Amino acid sequence: MVMAAARVIIRIHSTNYLLETCTNLKLLSIKREWTHHLQMHHCDYIYHRVQFRLAQNEENGGAESPDGTQEGREACWWIPWSAMGCFGSPSSKQSDLNSEDTRSQKRRSDAISKQLQKDKQLYRATHRLLLLGAGESGKSTIVKQMRILHVDGFSEQEKKQKIDDIKKNIRDAILTITGAMSTLNPPIPLEKKENEARVEYIQDYASGPDFNYPPEFYEHTEELWKDKGVLATYERSNEYQLIDCAKYFLDRVSIIKQPNYTPNEQDILRCRVLTSGIFETRFQVDKVNFHMFDVGGQRDERRKWIQCFNDVTAIIFVTACSSYNMVLREDPTQNRLRESLELFKSIWNNRWLRTISVILFLNKQDLLAEKIKAGKSKLSDYFAEFNKYQTPSDAIVESGDDPEVIRAKYFIRDEFLRISTASGDGKHYCYPHFTCAVDTENIKRVFNDCRDIIQRMHLRQYELL
């Protein structure tokens, strides 16, 4: 055969794309035969990966292949084994059928076909969930909860491996707070004069890249965390960039500094590590397979998101409701919650996602409640429209709930729903849920509520509903 040098295996995403490929490659002579083959066999999978030297297309200046390569360069595409015959002559086909090699080849091809059919069924039975949202919204914490709830949690070895990250969170927290004392307007002095030497130690020695966390580091950190000046600086953390877990870990220094310390699940959930790239977590719930994709949320990470858009069952968009009085790390002029709203709008209106529904996780409800109750940062100072907002009739209010907290959380919800309803076309929907990603019971309840929604999306995806 002409294509005997072809290498093995993948799949194409659609019949139409393969036929379009034929046109772009100027392989019009085989387009008719492939069309017939694909219509007869409903072939969605490709059995052989073939190397093409792409023809230069003068009309469009070079079309992209599925892997992003341009025409005029070598690229790898998938071709059905049974369609390979279109490259040979009728006489060669007849002679090949009589050879033992061809019969052996056919048996292998049939075995591959059978396995690919099983893989196809498994692929179509899998729910693929894409986690999107701005940086530090809680996406990775949601993934950790899925491991705790639906996999085997974290092994002792994995817990031990998190110790360095937790210690780094403590160092970053105390470095940031003590560094902000002199930069705030007005500056905040230390309560105790003797703590000045401790601040100097933290700023001069603990900031080094090879810092190894000696006992005196924990001693200085514990004493500084008791200083009223340091605590006052922490209370103004919305004016500078501080990780959410700062207070949690600074309160636990006496435990974490012990030589036999092993992180518990809450420590792992709270631990902040910057997500860069794309991470997949697989789990099963009631014999249903889920693949959850976590991607970095910072602006420079978002260009990678498009790699995950194909065959997505649903998008879980995570927003940090408590960020209404904070600015982005990468852009100090942009309010974090407004950035999240704008990001949600761009995803909702993205032409590649017009049929994908969005499950909205209104996250960090615990921190939102703390800020609203404290009254130091009013939501209306950052969103003037909150002044005229009234708690909606569909609000669920439980005994003991603070009315102002309820009004704030539903205001944020309705800001997102206003975007989804303004451009809604009936092809996708937004399903909001109030979440606290570090609360395992809350995430368990919310995800159980979402499973029916995800199942309906999955059936609609394959036109079974």
The verdict on whether residue 96 carries a ligand-binding annotation is no
The verdict on whether residue 131 carries a ligand-binding annotation is no
CA 203/CA 223 separation, integer angstroms: 15
CA 45/CA 100 separation, integer angstroms: 26
Which distant-in-sequence residues (6+ apart) come within 8 Å of 438 by Cβ?
Answer: 141, 266, 269, 270, 366
The verdict on whether residue 284 carries a ligand-binding annotation is no
Selecting among 128, 252, 272, 413, the annotated active-site residue is 272
Active-site residue 258, yes or no? no
Give me 220's structure tokens.
């200085």
The verdict on whether residue 138 carries a ligand-binding annotation is yes
The verdict on whether residue 343 carries a ligand-binding annotation is no
Active-site residue 49, yes or no? no
Selecting among 15, 69, 102, 298, the annotated active-site residue is 298
The verdict on whether residue 297 carries a ligand-binding annotation is yes
CA 449/CA 162 separation, integer angstroms: 31
Q: Name the CA dihedral angle for 390, 396, 399, 402, rounded to a multiple of 10 degrees.
A: -40
The verdict on whether residue 22 carries a ligand-binding annotation is no
Active-site residue 272, yes or no? yes
The verdict on whether residue 302 carries a ligand-binding annotation is no
Distance of CA 115 to the CA centre of its chain: 31
Active-site residue 145, yes or no? no
Selecting among 21, 44, 71, 136, the annotated active-site residue is 136
Selecting among 141, 178, 233, 461, the annotated active-site residue is 141
The verdict on whether residue 237 carries a ligand-binding annotation is no
Q: Give the count of beta carbons closer than 10 Å to the beta carbon of residue 180.
A: 20
Active-site residue 164, yes or no? no
The verdict on whether residue 122 carries a ligand-binding annotation is no
The verdict on whether residue 231 carries a ligand-binding annotation is no
The verdict on whether residue 130 carries a ligand-binding annotation is no
The verdict on whether residue 295 carries a ligand-binding annotation is yes
Selecting among 44, 71, 267, 294, the annotated active-site residue is 294
The verdict on whether residue 437 carries a ligand-binding annotation is yes
- Extract the annotated binding site for Mg(2+): 140, 275
- Extract the annotated binding site: 136-141, 269-275, 294-298, 363-366, 437
The residues annotated as belonging to the active site are 136, 141, 272, 294, 298
- Extract the annotated binding site for GTP: 136-141, 269-275, 294-298, 363-366, 437
